[in-house]
Structure 1
Amino acid sequence: MVRNTIRAGHNVMLRVADSWVGEAFPSAHGLTALDAGCGTGLFSLALARRGFKVASSDLAPQMAAATARAAAAAGLSDRVSCWASDLESITGSYDLVNCFDVLIHYPAEPFVAMLSHLASLCRGTLLFTYAPYSAFLAGMHRVGGYFPHSQRRTDIQMIRDTTVRQALADSGMRFRRAERVGKGFYHVMLVEASRG
């Protein structure tokens, strides 16, 4: 139950993020994107279909490999490059940087440092999710701990909105919009920011 609602909520978030990318980049041909924490590559493939040249990275080698297989199966290997790496080791400069459902595991101080690092890689639009602080979310998180181990939630770290906005401003990014996405045990804030 917990994992099913998380998966469903994640898919809703990806649809919203994809629509925002379409608005920000009506034509993405010749542009670059970084999918930091790419998972199985769902968003990497969506970006490649829009015309981006996508760099896809994940801490787990099996996730980076799954993204590479999905790109090959979709005929997009020429637009998607994949490798295993932690976020801190990623370098480069990209028109679009996205990081979904990764920063939710970082406590406030490391969260700010990691958001600053992601912003340093971005010369255009930054999309990311975080777990917004709320009493309701804290309660849901505790309830999830009582489910059988196979259905249990992962640890999340709730961050206050003011912390996020200050971290963006300190990184030279302008907050553009945010949307709360919640379904069952999945509750995140999706944020779009831009350089300058």
Structure 2
Amino acid sequence: MTDYATTRDRVEHYFDRTATKVWERLCSDAPVSRIRQTVRQGRDAMRAMMLAQLPADLTGARILDAGCGTGLMTAELARRGAEVVAVDISPQLIAIAQGQLEARFAGQVTFAAGDMTDAAHGRFDHVIAMDSLIYYHAADITAILHRLAERASGNLVFTVAPRTPFLMAFFTLGKLFPRADRSPTMIPHAFDTLSKSTGQGLGRVGRISSGFYISDCLEYRP
């Protein structure tokens, strides 16, 4: 059974109390292990792939960065001229993103800690959600996309963990740990299954596979 609120709270607990420093270091130029370097490189490549789905000039466009983390995507969107609403479930990651944003972009970005689907964030031209839906079941992803699409005039670009043998092995292994000891578990999805859940409008963009980072970029146009 899916439970969006329960998973969301678990993700918040993980990133706000357990993994903040790890993600701050990963999303920087600081030295990291060889394994984490492959993840960093994969995330950099994915960010570029997702940005390529939007116009090069975003001047005047209002973009939701749903699950902004430490703000790398936010900065790139602002650099293209967008007005960005950067939302993350973790207040600590929001604080890091605010601190790292160049002062020249401060007037273009609104930061908010909380639920990325909250209607209070307003309407958008486009939505980007990088690695922020990877912990949810298909029914929850569908509900999130539909809620966001109601307030977006353009496309929704997001990532999911693909259903590969490698990721399925990690998914199965994660279930062996006591629930209290687990980090949020990525849930791999087959495109066809997810497409049946979301209905018309889901399309493939591409896959990034870099060491321990394997992620599919998808686009939703309802």
TM-score (norm: length of structure 1): 0.81
- Out of 126, 134, 142, the residue aligned to residue 112 of structure 1 is 142
Asked if 1:84 is matched to 2:117, the reply is no
User: What is the correspondence of 1:8-47 to structure 2 with a 5 Å cutoff?
Assistant: 8-21=41-54, 25-47=55-77
Instruction: Tell me how many residue pairs correspond in the alignment.
Output: 183
SS of 2:161's equivalent in the other structure is strand
Task: Check the 8 A contact 2:171/2:188 in 1, yes or no.
Answer: no
User: What is the correspondence of 1:160-179 to structure 2 with a 5 Å cutoff?
Assistant: 160-169=190-199, 174-179=201-206
Give the letter for the 1:57 counterpart. Answer: V
Asked if 1:185 is matched to 2:212, the reply is yes
Aligned pair in 2 of structure 1 residues 9, 141: CA closer, same or farther (>3 Å)?
farther
SS of 1:81's equivalent in the other structure is strand
Task: Check the 8 A contact 1:116/1:167 in 2, yes or no.
Answer: no
Q: For each residue in 1:130-181, what CA deviation from the matched residue of structure 2 results, as whole angstroms up to 9, or x when unmatched?
A: 1121223212556799xxxxxx9751001221233234435xxx34542011
Alpha-carbon offset, residue 69 of structure 1: 1.9
Give the letter for the 2:76 counterpart. Answer: A
SS of 1:122's equivalent in the other structure is coil
Q: For each residue in 1:18-42, what CA deviation from the matched residue of structure 2 results, as whole angstroms up to 9, or x when unmatched?
A: 2222xxx243211100001000111
TM-score (norm: length of structure 2): 0.73
Q: For each residue in 1:65-116, what CA deviation from the matched residue of structure 2 results, as whole angstroms up to 9, or x when unmatched?
A: 2222222x34100111101012242442100101110111002222221222
Match of 1:48?
Answer: 78
Identity, in percent, stands at: 32
- Structure 2, unmatched stretches of 5+, are 1-33, 176-181
- Structure 1, unmatched stretches of 5+, are 146-151
SS of 2:153's equivalent in the other structure is strand
Task: Check the 8 A contact 2:171/2:187 in 1, yes or no.
Answer: no
Asked if 1:5 is matched to 2:53, the reply is no
User: When you count strand as a share of all residues, which structure comes out higher?
Assistant: 1
Please give the root-mean-square deviation of Cα atoms over the aligned residues, in Å.
2.5
Q: How many Å separate the matches in 2 of 1:61 and 1:2?
A: 27
